[in-house]
Each structure stands twice: as C-alpha cells, then as structure tokens.
Amino acid sequence: MNMPTQALGSWRRILGSLTLAVLLEQLPWSGWALALRPDFVLVGVLFWTLHQPARIGFGAAFFLGLLADFQDGAVFGQHAIAYVTGVYLVLFLRMRLLQFDPFRQAAQLFPILLTVQLAVLLIGWLAVNPPASLAMLLPVLSSTVLWCLIALFVRLWHGKGLQDRA
Amino acid sequence: MATPGQLMFARRLGPTARLLIWLLVGVSCVVVDARYRALDDLRSGFSLLLQPAREILRVPSDIAAELGGFFARHRLLQKERDALLAERARLLVSVNAAKELVRENAELRTLLQLQTRPGQQAVQAALLYQGHDWFAQRITLDLGGGGGLRSGLPVVDATGLVGQVSRVYPGSSEVALVSSPDQLTPVFVERTGQRGLAAGSGHGQMELRYMPAQTDIRAGDRLLTSGIDRVYPAGIPVARVSRVSRSQSSPYLRVECLPLAGLDRSRVVLVLIAEPQVTTR
C-alpha cells in the first residue's frame, strides 16, 4: 500500500492541489452551501500529511490555518492551532490509516476532523465569545465525504479496482 | 543504506515535541491578536493576496445572475416597471413633504440654536465574500480604505441596517452584521418611542436587551436606530419584533427580533460616510 505514495505527489501536485483548495474556498459561497461547505484546505493538508509527511506537515498546516483565519475574519491562530492538531493526529495514526480502503479510512478520519472542528470551537469560545449554534459541526460530515471521494479517486487513478481490498 | 556523511542516528524532533512548539506559537498568535490587535498588518497582507482571486471567482456567479436577468420574462418586466412607476409617484410626493420638513426643521433648529446634524454621503459597495465564522457574522465588501471607508461606518441596504464596518484593508473591508453576537445597536421602538439596545444573537436573529417587564412592546413593532450613539444616523430601520416572552427568572422581557435588511441576500449595499461635522457657529 506504500507503493502509490512514491508515485504520488511531486511538489507540483502538492502545491497545485493545495492552491486549488484555497481557491475553492474563495468562491462566493452562501446560505446552505456555505453551512455545508467542506473544509477543502484541511482535507488537502491532512491528505498530503498522510501520503507525504516529509513534505507537508506542521509548518504548512499552520500557515494555511492562518489563511483560513483571515478569510473567516476569525482571531488569528484559531484554525492554525486546530489544523496543527489534525496533522499530529494523522501522523500518530498514519501507519494504521494507510492500511485501510477508502471507506474505512474516511470512517477513521471522521473523529480526527471532528477533533479539529472542536478545537476551532473551543479556541473561538475562549478567545472571542460563545458560538451561536452547533451548526459548525456540519462541515465535519461533508469533509469526511470529500475525503472518501478523494481517496476513491486516487485509488482508481492508480489502477486499483474498487473490488481490491488492500 | 547509509551513505557516507549521513548521520546514522540523526534524530529529528518527534511529532509530539513539534506539536507542542506549534501550539505555543498558535496560542501566542491568539493572544497577540485578540488582546493587543497587533496582527492587522498580516491581515492586510492576506487581503492583498486573496483579493484578486476573490474578484475573479466572483465572476461565474455574476454571469449566472446576468443570464438570469437577461432571460427575465417581458411580462414580468412590464409588471415591475408599472409597480416602480407607481412607487416613484408616491415617493415624489413624500420627497416634497420631506423637503418641506427639512426646511422647517432647519428654521426651528436655528431658532433653538442647535447644531446642525452632520450630512450623510452614501457610497455603493458590492459583496465580495461571505465569511464562515461561527462566532461573529461578517461579510467582505469590495471597497476599502481607497474608497474613503474607515472603521465604524454604518452599512445599509434598501430595506434596513446591515451592520458596521469593522476592519478596513486597502482594497476591501469587513462588515460586522447587526445579527453578529458582539454587535450592539442603539434603537427605539417606532410605535412608542421607547429606547433600547438591540444585540445580535447569532444565526440571523437579534434580541432587544434590558426591556423591563412592564414595557409596552409587542410582536410586529419596528425598531429604528435612535442615533444617540452618533455612529448610526437616526431613523434607519433595523429589525421587527418577532416574539415577546416573559421569563420567570429575569426582571427583563425576552424580545426576539428579525433584522429587516437582507443580511444574506443583498449583493449591493450602501456605506454611509458622514461628512466632517459642520459647525456653523
């Protein structure tokens, strides 16, 4: 299962996908789409941390977290701390995550994404004021679905059929 | 395996140590930003970086809106035109009355030797981006310090008060919406003249705070800005009372209101720039 990680991910691909994720978040989302919008940048960072831990890690996560803080108008450091926590959890569970097929991987990612969002919630609560509602946990679900789709796509791309249970 | 010159037992910091270091950096960022507001330059930098991307990515939805407008039905347009003409006639009548009142007001003010109120100038700005923050609701406008905006100016749309400019960047600015939890608006009840303080309560709603239990207020009352804070001009519609309930534990009424402005619908808003205070005497 380590095989595709070598073929995957030159710098160009990593930077390209992360830039795409940042740009996707700049679209003028509104209403329900905004409430359900997956955290593209977080999913991108965690994906590359899983597959290329030597290249994408704490530093990139922190910088992209600051960017996310800016675009939400949140206090600086809120998303940065949360993303760094997510990277740590992925590094901690890395060997295990790489064993799984996309669906199980997404199921394992769900608690990690939830922890990241709870960290955002907690820091915002401490630094600014109590959150308006718990609707902020909705993106966790959509991010998990997004992860599942990306993992399936990468798997098909590398010529492994859906039936193949690694 | 080991090439010459490579350390065999080279150790990098473990993930836990690196996590702790980054957490420390993050916490200091939070403290520096929330307590000392020292990172505004970084915000300006990010805004310069992301502004072009946002403007380009706004184009598809603009084109969709244009296309939708282009294919609007002829009958619909005619109906709208008729309605607008009728409204224009009505407004012209009230404009005449308002002019008369302004003149009369000015005379009375000179009689009473009051200071004239500062004039208002409205600048149009378009919605650039809607933030996704759960702790304060903000939108980003495509007009910034270059357009004469500064922090604290009121923002309105055709139906009411939208919010207040909270941060200004060179080419864009952030507006804290009236429904944002930390946003307070001094208002008065249109029907009775009772003054009060409206605060955002998140998820698109507002509440009127500190209303004693015997206050005359009911669902359907309109709240207008009272103008006593010298930030908002008096008389801008803010919200409509949706529910009034009495609580056993608190001496105050619980008054829920819905903002009148299209907080999540307006694409174009007006920023009211006050002219410098004119002192006639």
Of all residues in chain B, the percent with pLDDT exceeding 90 is 24
Q: How far apart are CA B263 and CA A65, in angstroms?
A: 27
Beta bridge partners of B269: B125
Kindly report the three-state secondary structure assignment for every residue of chain B. Answer: CCCCCCCCCCCCCCHHHHHHHHHHHHHHHHHHHHHHCCCHHHHHHHHHHHHHHHHHHCHHHHHHHHHHHHCCCHHHHHHHHHHHHHHHHHHHHHHHHHHHHHHHHHHHHHHHCCCCCCCEEEEEEEEEEECCCCCCCEEEECCCHHHCCCCCCEEECCCCEEEEEEEECCCCEEEEECCCCCCEEEEEECCCCCEEEEEECCCCCEEEEEEECCCCCCCCCEEEECCCCCCCCCCCEEEEEEEEEECCCCCEEEEEEEECCCCCCCCEEEEEEECCCCCCC
Q: In chain A, whose CA is at the least distance from the CA of B175?
A: A73
CB atoms within 10 A of CB B223: 28
Q: In chain B, whose CA is at the least distance from the CA of A33?
A: B132
Q: How far apart are CA A64 and CA A14, in angstroms?
A: 13
Residues of chain B with Cβ-Cβ distance to A129 below 8 Å are 135-136, 181-182
User: What pLDDT sits at residue A164?
Assistant: 46
Write out pLDDT tens, residues B217-259.
989 999 999 888 778 888 889 999 999 988 888 888 889 999 9
Exposed, middle or buried by CB within 10 Å (0-12, 13-18, 19+), for B125? buried
pTM for the structure as a whole: 0.77
A23 vs B264: CB contact, 8 Å cut-off? no
Instruction: Assign B99 a pLDDT band (cuts: 50, 70, 90).
Output: very high
Note whether A73 contacts B: Cβ–Cβ < 8 A: yes
Write out pLDDT tens, residues A153-166.
988 887 665 554 44
Write out pLDDT tens, residues B32-82.
988 888 888 888 888 888 888 888 888 888 888 788 878 877 888 889 899
User: What pLDDT sits at residue B22?
Assistant: 93
Specify the amino acid at residue B63: I
A28 vs B129: CB contact, 8 Å cut-off? yes
For B135, which of A29, A66, A128 is closest by C-beta distance? A128
User: What pLDDT sits at residue B280?
Assistant: 44
Q: How far is B27 from chain A (nearest CA, A)?
A: 7
> Domain residues of chain A, as ranges?
35-157
More confident call, B281 vs A79: A79
User: What pLDDT sits at residue A80?
Assistant: 94
The closest alpha carbon to B148, from B273, B276, B278, B233, belongs to B273
CB of B242 closer than 8 Å to CB of B255? no
ipTM surpasses 0.90: no
Residues of chain A with Cβ-Cβ distance to B140 below 8 Å are 73
Q: List domains and CATH numbers for chain B.
A: 16-51 (no CATH), 118-281 (2.40.10.340)
User: What pLDDT sits at residue B107?
Assistant: 84
- Rounded to the nearest 10 degrees, the angle between the axes of helix A11-26 and helix B40-57 is 80
User: What pLDDT sits at residue B35?
Assistant: 83
Q: How far is B10 from chain A (nearest CA, A)?
A: 15
Write out pLDDT tens, residues A82-91.
999 999 999 9
Of all residues in chain B, the percent with pLDDT exceeding 70 is 90
